[in-house]
Structure formats: structure tokens, C-alpha cells
Amino acid sequence: MGEPTTTYALNGGHALVTGGSRSIGRGIALGLARCGADVAVNYRGDAAAAAEVVAEITRRGRKAAAVQGDVTDPASIERILDDAESAVGPIDILVNNAGVLKRTPFLEISKDEWDWVLHTDLDACFLMGQAVARRMVNRGIRGRIINIASTSSRNAGPLLTHYCVAKAGLSMLTRQMAVELAEHGINVNEVNPGLIATDMTRGYIRNEANRQSRLSRIPLKLIGEPEDVVGAVLFLASKEARLVTGASLYIDGGFTAW
């Protein structure tokens, strides 16, 4: 897939993308910059990958910074936000993208593994969303918060109990945030990717049996690329989506239409 052409007017925007150094997060960060936003790229461990994304954004003429930190830790989140806002300005677009996935039979999931998935895929979105929303409210910013969930928020899947539960919780969190933050002019929505070729899924997709099983349940018979998710995020971040809040957009080739 070549350079995406989707564009919305985000000039003057200040965005933070968690897990922005790779795969879907990387695509979103670059897309926001392409539309005119300055972007803080949060990462946890891969400084080199984050630096590459920042370099690409600055080549586009936008401000960018790599911001290291653990989005499951409240103290770390405040530092992430301080560093991000120092580099690109007060955040008015938050994309909660950081996440993990591990395939484990229900009977074998340990408490530590359960906590790891729930903390990363659900708690972090609550903590970061609350922290950013508080700053938006205090500054009178009518911002956008976009949570990256999954079709697993709606469809159960084998070996994915903790992941599905976390993403289902994120869907309700999105709706609750939308309802409670509406009075402050903050729109909160979620994007639910289906099977996308990312660092977390490529091993699964390379197994031909897995690939064919999933394709048989996707009406469009397509496995997505990270860029396929970007357009929905750009729309939700834009003024064109001013009446959209509490919504769930499914980017899944029709998987959830069955």
C-alpha cells in the first residue's frame, strides 16, 4: 500500500499517540502529521523506532517528539503529558493506541498475565483519558479522544479471554467518557480494527490454517494493513466529526456484519 491520501484539516492540532512507534500507532501518528497536527509519539521501550517516526514527522514540517513512559502508571502518565505538551503544545487530540495481545487458553491464564493485559489494554486508556480530559477541561479545550479497541470488543475468540474482556470494557469506557465529557465539548469515540497485519498478529497470520479460517469469516476477504485504520482516526479527530461521540467504527472488512 502506497502513501495514503486521506486528509482532513488538523492544522494547529496538538496530538498524543500512545504506542505510536510501530504498526497502527505509527500510521496514526504519521497521518495526523500529514493533516497538519504536531504529534507527540509515546513509546515504552523502542526508542529507535519512536525516533524514526519523529524524523518522518519533522520532515513533513510538523513538530514532533518521542515521549517515553509507561501508560499503566499514573505518575508516568503525568510526566508523559508534561513532556508532550512542552514539545508540541497543549494536547487537544489523544489517541489511546497502546496495547498488548497474548493467546492463552482460558484455563492457563495466570493472574499476572490477566493483570498485564487488563492494565495495558483497559486501565491505561482510563488513566490517560482521564488525565488528558482533566487538562482539556481546565483549559477550556474542546478536544478529541479516540480509543483504539478491536472487533474483540464485540466477538469472543479462542485463547483471547483477557484481551476480549479488556476491549469490551474499553467500549463501555468510551461511551461513559462520551456521555460525561460532552458538557465540556470533548468528543470521545472508538475505532475497532479487525484482523490487521501488525507486529502482534503477523505470526498468527503466517499460519495458513489461521489465515484461511479468518478470511472465511470476512466478507471482503481482506486482511488489513495499519494504514486502513488511519482514515477513521483522522475523521474522528477532525471538525467534520463534531456531532460524533460515543460511536464505534469497525474497520474489519465486514467481519462483525455476520
d(C-alpha 207, C-alpha 249), whole Å:
28
Candidates 8, 43, 163, 250; catalytic one: 163
Decide if 163 is catalytic. Answer: yes
Q: Please say whether the beta carbons of 71 and 129 come within 8 A.
A: no
| Residue located via cell numbers 514532533 | 64
Cell of 76: 508516568
Q: Please say whether the beta carbons of 54 and 41 come within 8 A.
A: yes
d(C-alpha 99, C-alpha 121), whole Å:
5
**In terms of DSSP bridges, do strands 93-96 and 14-17 run parallel, antiparallel, or are they unpaired?**
parallel
Q: In what order do the strands lie in the sheet with 14-17?
A: 64-68, 38-43, 14-17, 93-96, 144-148, 187-193, 248-251
Cell of 240: 467534520
The candidate with the shortest Cα–Cα distance to 179, out of 134, 93, 246, is 246
SS3 144: strand
Identify the bridge partners of residue 93 per DSSP, sorted by sequence position. Answer: 15, 144
d(C-alpha 187, C-alpha 146), whole Å:
8
Cell of 127: 488513566
Give 247: exposed, middle or buried? Use CB within 10 Å, 0-12, 13-18, 19+.
middle
List active site positions: 163
